[in-house]
Structure 1
Amino acid sequence: MAVHSQHPASAPPTAPVRERTRHLMLRGWCIFVLFIALSGTAWVHAFGETIAAVITIAATLLSVGLWFGTKPSVQWRRLPWFVVAYVGWAVLSITWSAWPMATALTLLLLLLTTTQALFVGAVLTWRELVRAIASALKWVVGLSLVFELWVSIFVKAPILPGFVVAKADDPIEYWSRNNLFDGGRIQGIMGNANLLGPVALLAIIVFSIRLTAGAPRRALLWGWIVLSAYLLYRASSATSYAAAAAVVVVLTTVLLMRRTQKPGQRTPLYIGYAAIAVVGGAGLWWGRDVIFTALGRTSDLTGREGIWQTVLERANERPLIGWGYSTPWVPWDPAFDGWIVDHGVTVMQAHNTWIDLYLQLGLVGVVLFGILFLAFVWRAWFFAVDRPRWDLKADRPYSSLTLLPTLVGTILLVQSFAESSPLLVWGWMFLVMLGFKIKQAPHIGVGPAEQGAAIERGEFTAQVP
């Protein structure tokens, strides 16, 4: 005869798995590190160069301490060796540099940024990395709008760096031009519309990836996408518009590649993709008069062609090894002070990654960086288009997270022809960080580098997007 029992046979209920406090704090620190890189010159404009330098150095030292403390699983044989070669050549250039002080200062920035990129890539899983990038971008996008609102509503006048309200000799000197309500270009916390535009485009990409990955609070993500699109429009950066068009082409191609069933079906897509790239690039160059006039720019890319010619003249004097590393150009160094002046301000870059490299590190530096970039694009492309597979199972679903590296590579490639951004700040950090992450964890949620943080949280591979 069955007897009713007050003691159920099933296991007692348990609380859901939660992240440990120290891991939450670690991820929060990574968000701050990414925010430092993405906000760029905002720290210099707000606090001055000395305080900004102290913050950057102190943040890197803390990251190194956390790295040793957490001891994440790193496959040292799979380091980004092309990055190591490029950085090594840049360090070696101090021995022949024509501007040794500028080389030493900017090498410190290069080493700090590289260290932070490796740190973030080592301690976070792919899912956590995308979440951290999204959080940092929310701060940059949100503060940029709040900053412009504060200037237009309360200050009601353009302001200079250091929150100084005074008349500048040229509008290029302003941190904010008070253009939010008059229809002009806005500059955000970076103080430069050409820096705000690419970050806003990156934000649209990251928030969209989070949305398609099934992240919570979808209505808020849509709001962030709209806000980022608004900032991209108001920044009115021709380079960012070109990058956005390239991102659409690359994304469409990747999605078509994912639909193919056999390797041979990809060949026509590759041919079409190459044809679009060649025709599009040629059309952009030969039709630049019409295109840039429509965008309110001059046909010489707002004076860039003149800068390129001047830089090439000096670079050709030392074509093999260059004049010495300096990214950016240090404006108070005698070698750069007054060398190229735009609107009364000493120019701090060649506005072309490849010409800048040729000047600083010669043909050797151009080749090293070219191989580095090609390796990143190659790995990022197949990371996006190939179905995840590490055993006999061949029908695993694609992850939208794998789109991030190849789309970031697209932005940086387009930028490299009109800016030197891929060589410093967030451009260089993302190039190193994502390339390192792909080598360490070529599959989402699989491998020691991915599983270490999951084990730290008391779970294995089940993670929330």
Structure 2
Amino acid sequence: MAVFTKHPVSAPPAPPVRETTGHLMLRAWCIFVLFLALSGVAWVNAFGAVVAGAVAIASGVLTIVLWATLRPFIQWRRLPWVVFAYVAWATLSIAWSAWPGVSALTWLMLAITTLQALFVGAVLTWRELVRAIGSALKWTLGLSLLFELFVGIFVRGPVLPGFERPTEHFDPIVYWSRGNIFNSGRMQGIWGNANLLGVVALLAIIVFAILYAARSPRRPMLIVWIVISAFFFVRAGSATTYLSAVVVAVVLATILLMRTTKRPGERTRYYIAYAVVGIGGLLAVVVWRKELFTLLGRSSDLTGRERIWASVIARAMERPFAGWGYASPWIAGDPHFDRWIIDHGQTVMQAHNMWVDLFMQLGIVGIVLMAGVYLAYIWRAWFFAVDRPRWDLVADRPYSSLTLLPSLVGAVLLVQGLAESGPLILWGWMFVVMFSFKIKQAPVIGQGAAEVGAAIERGEAVRADGMAPAESAGGSASAPADPAPASEPPARAAGAGS
């Protein structure tokens, strides 16, 4: 006769783990910080430079208060020191700057962006971080869609910054929105710049596709957002962004191919093959540049960029070692920049190449430091993506699609840096610092002291061995098969660098 035990082996039923109200508010603040970096000049176009600067400074002060209050776990020996070296050199440049006021003001924005990047990377887990980026992108693209629809339906014409209607004809570069949503013209979104809209739309496609592959909640809506992002990507008509998309596709294919290797040294032939393809592609662009840019609807001099580069390099050669002083972006009202380089009747506010811009501002030293920042970032991001998650003897754990994001973002920024100075400021710089910091602090998703500390703050139950339940791809909790004690430093991902 069967006997039912009164001591079941399974745990009694319990309600699902819910996030604390405090952590929900913290994550909302992180989304706002990311939105602030992604939206960028939209704040200037809507409210003016003074209000935009005040919001940025106030956000930095609040982040400092939150950091002092929360004190998130940080492994101080595993910080992105090359990033700090670059910021320190930018700080020192104020001493010899030809435009000290501009240097001090723009350095303040650099310091705030760096602080925000470190804070967001410290208080969120990898999965929370990617989802927060996705939420911020939804806000930027959603507001852009509403803004363009409002202009197209009610205004039915171009709009100047500050929501002003033009009383005379201006060059299209001046308009905040050209009112092109219902025709074939280029769209600019809340940024008032088609190139900025295009690259954010490409970033959104990448993030939403990764979240979809990770089986995040509300997957059908992610498809809707991918469609909206693709619409903006096409309507922005940015040749540089199109090239970035091609490079992203190549990098993604390479990572997925590298993940199929099973024996040591098997990746070597793939590296050689892709190096040959990359060098051949670069030479083809140089040789057939005119035909390529004609096909993309651009002039062979990159729409006047070569003229800008020549002027900036000529000034940089006067102070080649230390540069003229930090200034990202250029302040048009300063006498050194006002009417210095004119494009479409407007004062140019960047060199349209991050390396040329760095050469003028911080000299050869600045270029070397920034090259070190990107070299360390790309190196760690690459092995973060291609190596299996491992912290013990188990070597066959499945890959996570979330590990693709740092490498793909790095590809976008490197290509954008050839024709824009955007990677030096706002979300470009923030993402490089944030991912560099996060990979060093938590080289394995869901494991290690940094990830566990954030999980505890989120309100999850912690097991007796000190580990928090590892999240599934969709954000739910499940116990890891082989946990590592929270008191030990996280294991280094294979090839992740020091």
With the length of structure 1 as denominator, give the TM-score of the two structures: 0.97
After the TM superposition, list the runs of 4 or more consecutive aligned residues in structure 1 that deviate by more than 4 angstroms: 1-5, 7-12
Q: How does 1:444-459 map to 2 (within 5 A)?
A: 444-456=445-457, 457-459=459-461
Give CA deviations for 1:379-430 in whole Å, capped at 9, x if unaligned.
0001000111111111111110000000000000101111111100100000
Quote the Cα distance in structure 2 between the aligned partners of 1:45 and 1:201: 22
Match of 1:199 in 2: 200
Whether the 8 Å contact between 1:48 and 1:162 is mirrored in structure 2 is: yes
Whether the 8 Å contact between 1:409 and 1:431 is mirrored in structure 2 is: yes
Whether the 8 Å contact between 2:324 and 2:360 is mirrored in structure 1 is: yes
Match of 1:412 in 2: 413
Amino acid at match of 1:392: L
Quote the Cα distance in structure 2 between the aligned partners of 1:379 and 1:34: 22
Give CA deviations for 1:290-319 in whole Å, capped at 9, x if unaligned.
121122211100000000001111101111
Whether the 8 Å contact between 1:121 and 1:436 is mirrored in structure 2 is: yes
Residues 52-61 or 278-287, more deviating = 278-287
Q: How does 1:350-389 map to 2 (within 5 A)?
A: 350-389=351-390
Whether the 8 Å contact between 2:72 and 2:453 is mirrored in structure 1 is: yes
Amino acid at match of 2:155: V
Match of 1:95 in 2: 95
Match of 1:36 in 2: 36
Q: Give the secondary-structure state (helix, strand or coil) at the position aligned to 1:259.
A: coil
Whether the 8 Å contact between 1:80 and 1:439 is mirrored in structure 2 is: yes
Q: How does 1:186-335 map to 2 (within 5 A)?
A: 186-335=187-336
Amino acid at match of 1:234: R
1:155 aligns with 2:155: yes
Amino acid at match of 2:213: T
Residues 322-331 or 274-283, more deviating = 274-283
Whether the 8 Å contact between 1:168 and 1:174 is mirrored in structure 2 is: no
Give CA deviations for 1:244-303 in whole Å, capped at 9, x if unaligned.
000000000000000000121101110111112111122222222112112221110000
Quote the Cα distance in structure 2 between the aligned partners of 1:264 and 1:3: 59
Q: Give the secondary-structure state (helix, strand or coil) at the position aligned to 2:212.
A: helix
CA spacing shift, 1:11–1:286, aligned 2, 3 Å: closer
Quote the Cα distance in structure 2 between the aligned partners of 1:209 and 1:247: 13
Number of residues of Structure 1 aligned to a counterpart in Structure 2: 464
CA spacing shift, 1:341–1:267, aligned 2, 3 Å: same
Quote the Cα distance in structure 1 between the aligned partners of 2:296 and 2:37: 28
CA spacing shift, 1:423–1:11, aligned 2, 3 Å: closer
Cα RMSD, aligned residues only: 1.5
TM-fit CA distance, 1:462: 2.5
Amino acid at match of 2:180: N
CA spacing shift, 1:180–1:71, aligned 2, 3 Å: same
Unaligned runs of 5+ in 1: none
Match of 1:462 in 2: 470
Whether the 8 Å contact between 1:446 and 1:461 is mirrored in structure 2 is: no
Quote the Cα distance in structure 2 between the aligned partners of 1:372 and 1:3: 67
Quote the Cα distance in structure 1 between the aligned partners of 2:303 and 2:340: 18
Give CA deviations for 1:88-147 in whole Å, capped at 9, x if unaligned.
000000111011111011001100100000010000000000000000001111111111
Amino acid at match of 1:107: W
Match of 1:401 in 2: 402
Whether the 8 Å contact between 2:447 and 2:470 is mirrored in structure 1 is: no
Unaligned runs of 5+ in 2: 462-467, 476-498
Match of 2:482 in 1: none
Quote the Cα distance in structure 2 between the aligned partners of 1:336 and 1:156: 35
Quote the Cα distance in structure 2 between the aligned partners of 1:3 and 1:395: 41
Whether the 8 Å contact between 1:125 and 1:445 is mirrored in structure 2 is: yes
CA spacing shift, 1:169–1:4, aligned 2, 3 Å: closer
Quote the Cα distance in structure 2 between the aligned partners of 1:2 and 1:375: 64
Quote the Cα distance in structure 1 between the aligned partners of 2:279 and 2:433: 27
Quote the Cα distance in structure 2 between the aligned partners of 1:394 and 1:4: 41
TM-fit CA distance, 1:216: 1.6
Higher relative contact order (CA 8 A, sep 6+): 1
Quote the Cα distance in structure 2 between the aligned partners of 1:441 and 1:129: 12
Higher helix share: 1
CA spacing shift, 1:240–1:4, aligned 2, 3 Å: closer
Q: Give the secondary-structure state (helix, strand or coil) at the position aligned to 2:440.
A: helix
Q: How does 1:425-444 map to 2 (within 5 A)?
A: 425-444=426-445
Quote the Cα distance in structure 2 between the aligned partners of 1:32 and 1:295: 35
With the length of structure 2 as denominator, give the TM-score of the two structures: 0.91
